[in-house]
């Protein structure tokens, strides 16, 4: 398979599992965003940071890594390089 086609196919195959994992993790933290009881002054900022990290890591996994892969792929380089 050509490297470009393999990158597209790999990104397509990983889209659903990555999105499901990130969505479930983010949805699990939504109650902390709306907490108002004791300890909410710690829970709310923590939930915001974790959800932001999930969003960023999902974008990195699905967009940035497949985009950068061709620059680091040396499978088609001649031997000795």
- Domain presence at residue 81: no
- Domain presence at residue 79: no
pLDDT value at residue 78:
62
Distance CA 54, CA 76 (A): 34
Distance CA 65, CA 62 (A): 7
The proportion of the chain whose per-residue pLDDT surpasses 70, expressed as a percent, equals: 91
- pTM assigned to the model: 0.76
Cβ-based neighbours of 28, under 8 Å, separated by 6 or more: none
pLDDT value at residue 2:
87
Domain range holding 15? 3-72
Cβ-based neighbours of 11, under 8 Å, separated by 6 or more: 62, 66
Report how many domains make up the chain: 1
């Amino acid at each position: 398979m050509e490297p470009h086609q393999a990158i597209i196919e790999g990104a397509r195959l990983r889209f659903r599992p990555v999105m499901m994992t990130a969505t479930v993790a983010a949805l699990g933290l939504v109650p902390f965003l709306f907490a108002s009881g004791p300890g909410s002054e710690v829970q709310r900022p923590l939930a915001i940071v974790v959800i932001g990290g999930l969003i960023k890591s999902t974008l990195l996994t699905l967009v940035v890594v497949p985009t950068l892969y061709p620059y680091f792929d040396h499978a088609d380089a001649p031997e000795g390089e």
